[in-house]
Amino acid sequence: MKHHETALDRDVAALLAARAFTEIRYLADDVQRRSPDSSIEEDLERIRFLADLCHNLPGIARPRRWRPSRKGAPASSIEQAMTRRPMGWTWHTTGPEGRAWILDHIKHDGRTWTPPPPLPTRRKGPAPLTLRQRTSMLIGRWPVKAPSGHQPLPSEAHVLKALDTDAVCALYEEPGQLQLGLGKGAPHLRTHLDPEGTHYLVPDPASYYWPGNPDGRDGKIRWWQCTALLRMYDGEQVTGMIAVLPETFTALPSNLPRREQLRLVHRARSTERDTYLWGRDHKSECGPQVCGYIPEASINQPPPTT
């Protein structure tokens, strides 16, 4: 019992430290002070810097056993790299000032430490199937499993459905209209999807979005978090996440063979690049001449006067 209480105290201390760092960062960014003494602003900036740098460190110092957010889903290349070198994300995202601060403290403590190698870039296309995934496909086992202590999804959710671009865009509009908080319709999405492409949708909720969990508004999650495997206008397949009501998903037509559904679910789960990363890489060339997208700000601007 004593060992359990000690371990629990460590977990609570790490949790509170992470929350404190996060709150300090919020306050430092949000608070507005007026003072003839400029050092107040400098102190606030220093608080923000340290909180931003260190808020993940308690979890590194006292890690819990890694579990994927989706039961049975493979670890991404970045997650694998972070398992080997837990300081990888902090080191490579903190910037020159943060790295100098880290090295200075390590040197002052008399330690020898080699910085972690660069984090891998998220690969285009899916990762190769593991032996477990191939075996699961051969025996026809559906890969989406309920987290411990939760009821599994109903049988009508154990289906992957093929959709055209119009159907996908319509689905993305529903959570915006219902304020479900996951997915929203926008001209940006429609313009960048392959207009003749086939896209795929499967209910695959993360553990924290599992139906029945609190929805943050004194209710329970009543929708299914679905993974969308989308084909973009340049041919690349990426993933997106969208909230879909059970009755909306069930009403969609289903005409894919079961073996093909299983293959595509594993493909969706193994695809590391999502719409955000694709959009980030495309941003520098995005425009009417390349993809046909015209930003809404440009549409609403009045014509220039002469």
What average pLDDT values come out for the chain (306 residues) when binned by 10 residues? 63 73 73 56 83 84 73 77 85 90 88 87 77 81 90 95 94 83 75 94 94 84 95 94 94 92 92 90 86 64 47
pLDDT, position 157: 96
pLDDT at 66: 64
- Looking at the structure, tell me whether residues 280 and 135 fall in a common domain: yes
- 139 and 62, same domain (yes or no): no
What residues are paired with 126 via a beta bridge? 271
Are 271 and 151 in the same domain? yes
Claim: this prediction has a pTM higher than 0.85: no
Distance CA 242, CA 223 (A): 10
Same-domain check for residues 182 and 47: no
Contact 28, 55 (CB under 8 A): no
Task: State residue 260 phi and psi, 5-degree precision.
Answer: -70, -35
pLDDT on residue 180 = 79
**pLDDT of amino acid 32:** 53
Claim to verify: residue 217 and residue 255 sit in the same structural domain: yes
Structural domain including 208 reads 131-285
CA angle 237, 123, 120 (to 5 degrees): 155
Angle, in degrees to the nearest 10, between helices 39-54 and 2-30: 140
Predicted pLDDT at 233: 92
Quote the number of domains for the chain.
2
- Taking the C-alpha atoms of residue 137 and residue 260, their distance in angstroms, rounded to an integer, is 9
Question: Does 40 reside within a domain?
Answer: yes
3-state secondary structure (DSSP) of residue 108: helix
Let me know whether 158 and 256 are in one domain.
yes
Please indicate, yes or no, if residue 166 is contained in any of the structural domains.
yes
pLDDT at 29: 65
